[in-house]
Amino acid sequence: MISMYKKIILLCILSATFFKLGAQSHFVLHSDNYKGYIDQFNKDDVELYKGYFPNDSAWAFMKSNVPLLDCPDKDLELTYYFRWWTFRKHIKQTPDGFIFTEFLPDVHWAGKYNAISCAAAQHIYEGRWLKDNRYVKDYATFWLKKGGAIRSYSFWIADALWANNLVKLDDKFITDLLPDLVNNYAAWEKGWLYQGNFFVGKNPDGLFSQADNRDGMEVSIGGNGKRPTINSYMYGDAVAIAHISGLKGNKNTAELFLRKADTIKRVTLSKLWDSESAFFKTLPLGKTQLVDVRELHGYTPWYFNLPPAGKGYEKAWQFVKSDSGFYAPYGLTTAEQSHPGFEISYVGHECKWNGPSWPFATSVTLTAMANVLNNYQQSVITQTDYFKQMLIYAHAQRRANEHGAILPWIDEVINPYTGDWISRTILKERGWQKNNGGEERGKDYNHSSFCDLVITGLIGLRPQDDNTVIINPLIPAKAWDWFCLDNIAYHGKTLTIMYDKFGSRYGKGKGLMCFVNGELREKAENLQQISFKM
């Protein structure tokens, strides 16, 4: 790291000893020991677009809302706090309540209040870990009841709200939205013509079709058609609506949506799986042959646990480890590198999905990868593979400024070989056109998740719909000797998840431990899955 962060990192390395001095703390970690990150973010920031919580309010918001992380990899730790700092920028108060934005400046393709549904599910997955759930609740109400252009892009809203409920257990809120979720699903099934010629919606064969740019994946090699993305999203929403209907006591609706989910699963497996290529691919409308390219979005079915275990589908994951597949030093490529259509280009459209790395796709893939490691018996990928990709993702979120200093940074699309933010370079060279978002359009871009990946994947808190706590850290046994995630709002209680190999870091004992409201509830000597009833 660069010199401006070295003192902060050193203080954070030593922070676990400060509780002996009586500093203000949560159960283990002391929030003010991490304030230096936010002070430096604010100092380095050119605050072009102020939101509801401007920089001078950032620390107060984060201190009262986000879980605290302490880990040996201080670059990853820095990225964790940086992503909460940027997420806070996108909380926007409107006459219809709070929403989360994708871009900070207004863009002409957005809807009401500059809202865009493309990454809205990822906003909810990330935002569910805020202590104050009103932001997610307002956001859901905006999309379903207050004029949000909910179907302008693919959007797995029911699944995301169910994921939020697994953390917050606010059954009344989510069951009250059930009729709106059912109506939204029915509108997707009915479908419509996009730009007058391409059908978006459910086809007679049971598969859904979508334009690639309405998936937020423009200029892709596979193009428009019956894509693994939209079919996985509709499967995930159907399963979620079935769960919500069960909470409501509506057995008929639950059974109906389980049948819908089963149909999508069956046709996705039979028509979008290429057994020869061992991958899920796009089927163009009116065609019987799948496209000839593996694209990163082919991992989306595992985001929703759609593929059955033990049937050989897991072999697709070999390509995340391959240099001819998706593996690259600055992030997973959006198309396999061996394909003749793969390209890293700085001409034409500034947002291409034909090769460059997109944090949106990376975060979906890493969520799916964590599901494979938690829910499938397989030997294709390991915790080490997941850990390596998380470190690549964390460390890629950087940019060198005009003075050569390396700053934390999140933007639109990254060069997987050099780490350059492609769209930023192109737009800057074009003079930050006002009709295309203006100056630094992609700065602090809210189009992906990261903190949720740390919490549910790396640290391993797997949200449940009952009073069970399941923790399965995806950290290789010899990678870290200690870590702590403190002040986690879960099921109305506060959790602390801690690993201390030698017992010398936190002074609470040795091994993996989970505390509920400060009380030790479960522990294990080694890094492994633990579970208990709260």
Q: Compute φ and ψ for 312, nearest 5 degrees.
A: 95, 0
Query: Rounded to whole angstroms, how far apart are CA atoms 431 and 413?
Result: 18
Assigned token pair, 348: 């034409």
CA 167, chain centre distance (Å): 15
The predicted pLDDT at position 22 comes to 34
| Helix locations, 32-177, DSSP H | 35-44, 55-65, 74-89, 120-127, 134-145, 157-168, 171-176
The predicted pLDDT at position 91 comes to 98
Assigned token pair, 426: 């192109």
Query: Rounded to whole angstroms, how far apart are CA atoms 126 and 160?
Result: 10
The predicted pLDDT at position 26 comes to 73
DSSP state of 204: T
The structure tokens 């799948």 sit at: 290
Q: pTM for the whole thing?
A: 0.96
Given a contact cutoff of 8 angstroms between Cβ atoms, the answer to whether 144 and 96 are in contact is: no
Neighbouring residues of 345: CB distance < 8 A, sequence distance ≥ 6: 352
Closest CA to 387 of 447, 320, 463, 449: 320
Which stretches of the chain drop beneath a pLDDT of 70? 1-25
C-alpha distances out from residue 519 to 27, 230, 462, 514, 523, Å? 10, 43, 20, 8, 12
Strands 468-471 and 530-533, sheet pairing: antiparallel
Assigned token pair, 288: 């019987």
Query: Rounded to whole angstroms, how far apart are CA atoms 411 and 262?
Result: 37
Reduced to 3 states (helix: H, G, I; strand: E, B; else coil), residue 486 is: strand
For the stretch 94-98, contacts whose Cβ atoms lie closer than 8 Å and that sit 24 or more positions apart, written own/partner, are: 94/142, 96/138, 96/141, 96/142, 96/146, 96/147, 97/138, 97/139, 97/141, 97/142, 97/146, 98/52, 98/134, 98/135, 98/138, 98/139
Domain boundaries along the sequence of the chain: 465-534
Coarse DSSP helix, strand, coil percentages of the chain, rounded to the nearest 5 percent: 45, 15, 45
Maximum Cα interatomic distance, the chain, rounded to a whole number of Å? 70
The predicted pLDDT at position 23 comes to 43
Assigned token pair, 533: 């009833």
Assigned token pair, 123: 């906003």
The structure tokens 């006459």 sit at: 95
Give the burial class of 449: count Cβ atoms within 10 A of its Cβ; 0-12 exposed, 13-18 middle, 19 or more buried: buried
Q: Which helix (H) or strand (E) holds 17?
A: none
The predicted pLDDT at position 171 comes to 97
DSSP letters for 419-479:
--BHHHHHHHHTT--GGGT-TTTTTT---S-SHHHIIIIIS-B---SSSEEEE-----TTT
